[in-house]
Amino acid sequence: MKYLIAGAGAIGAYIGARLSNAGHDVILFARGAHLQAMQERGVEVKSADGDFVARPMVAASLEEIGPVDVIFLGVKAHSLTYLAPQLAPVLGPGTTVVSTQNGIPWWYFEGFGGRYNGARLERVDPGGVIAAAIPTGQVLGSIVYFSAEIIAPGVIQHISGNRISLGEPDGSRSERSRAIAEALISSGLRAPITARLRHEIWVKVLGNASFNPVSALTRATLAQMVGDQGVSSVIRNIMQEVEAVSHKLGMDLPVCIDQRISGAEKIGEHKTSMLQDLEAGRPMELEALVGAVVELGEKVGLPMTCTRTVYDCARLLSQNTRGGTLEAEHLEAEHNEQNIKK
């Protein structure tokens, strides 16, 4: 199979380098100095698991690639509305598109059933641009559980973790999910296939919707937020509201709030991805991680008082930091995919 990493930032380039190093046919789509460095010297990966250099094909244009078998969407959620319409040259009728974004994905309600079946989240997919560009039946969901960063153009530092969970939106265990999982496993990654991906999404959102925006507002690490009685109370209140939304949607979470907070405390002096983006001058994943949950609260009739308050404060911080325009965020996001996911 031919694999395309559409948006070969830190996470995308790491996945692509792993696949390529294992002998799979991989193409990376990137821009700028990172693109040039990978074209000239390959992708250099530094990791406690062992350093290596992979030399996949690296392209600056999707038009030059043509249809592929599998596309990994390597950009952050706020860049998908710009990337998705550009995928037509590489998207064939049999192409599988693997979403790797944090937060609530644009496809979440496709095949969901009940009153919310087919519902669209405006804060995740404004105007339905992503859904219009990527056929629902070609989407395979995933959740990334590793972190990496670009420490120099073409050089990826793998920080921790090696798991990427895969799941069909309809909960089935498809042949395509098995084939992709086998490729990832052969590349040194853990790739379990789950029939309950939506439940797993909510477990991650439980932490992302609380710790991320609060960290951006306070500039605090996970340990600092958990250790402060007042801030820890805010975190818990947000988690309770998020959990209430998930229950309204029929999700029975396998992890309780105390376990989620305890897990964050064990990670220690770690800065969330949102705080790292803020400090680096990058757009924050605010809408997919927090705004989408607020929007879902509106749909299911919950006030989301604490979550909405923190979201509104973080939104204003983002606007003031980014010059107050979404256009500036998206333009910069297109050219700066040097991201960290955690």
**174 and 213: one domain?**
no
**121 and 171: one domain?**
yes
Choose the final residue of a domain: 174, 195, 216.
Answer: 195
Single-letter code of the amino acid located at 335: H
Assigned token pair, 261: 């907070």
pLDDT in tens, the chain (342 residues): 999 999 999 999 999 999 999 999 999 999 999 999 999 999 999 999 999 999 999 999 999 999 999 999 999 999 999 999 999 999 999 999 999 999 999 999 998 989 999 999 999 999 999 999 999 999 999 999 988 889 999 999 998 899 999 999 999 999 999 999 999 999 999 999 999 999 999 999 999 999 999 999 999 999 999 999 999 999 999 999 999 999 999 998 989 999 999 988 888 888 888 998 999 888 999 999 999 999 999 999 999 999 999 999 999 999 998 643 343 344 344 434 433 333
Tell me the angle at which helices 175-186 and 10-21 cross, rounded to the nearest 10 degrees.
80
**286 and 232: one domain?**
yes
Residue 101 CB: number of other CB atoms within 10 A? 25
Please state the domain count of the chain.
2
**131 and 94: one domain?**
yes
Asked whether residue 340 is domain-assigned, the answer is no
**208 and 278: one domain?**
yes
**142 and 224: one domain?**
no
- What is the layout of strands, in order, in the sheet containing 91-99? 52-54, 43-46, 155-167, 139-152, 91-99, 68-73, 2-6, 25-29, 57-59
Reference 311, options 216, 223, 204; nearest CA is: 216
**10 and 125: one domain?**
yes
Q: How far is CA 195 from the centre of its chain?
A: 19
CA atoms within 13 A on the CB side of 85: 8
**179 and 274: one domain?**
no
**170 and 37: one domain?**
yes
13, 38 contact by CB (below 8 A): yes
- Residue-level pLDDT at 282: 87
Q: Is the pTM of this model over 0.85?
A: yes
CATH of the domain at 251: 1.10.1040.10
Q: What residue numbers bound the domain in which 234 lies?
A: 202-335
Which residues are paired to 315 by β-bridges? none
Reference 272, options 204, 185, 328, 336; nearest CA is: 204
**208 and 273: one domain?**
yes
User: Taking the alpha carbons of 93, 182, 187, 150 in that order, is the dihedral positive or negative?
Assistant: positive
Single-letter code of the amino acid located at 62: L
Separation between Cα atoms, residue 110 and residue 117, nearest integer Å: 6
Choose the final residue of a domain: 149, 167, 195.
Answer: 195
204 catalytic per annotation: yes
**187 and 209: one domain?**
no
Asked whether residue 341 is domain-assigned, the answer is no
Which one is catalytic: 2, 46, 76, 204? 204
**186 and 287: one domain?**
no
324 φ, ψ (degrees, to nearest 5):
80, 10
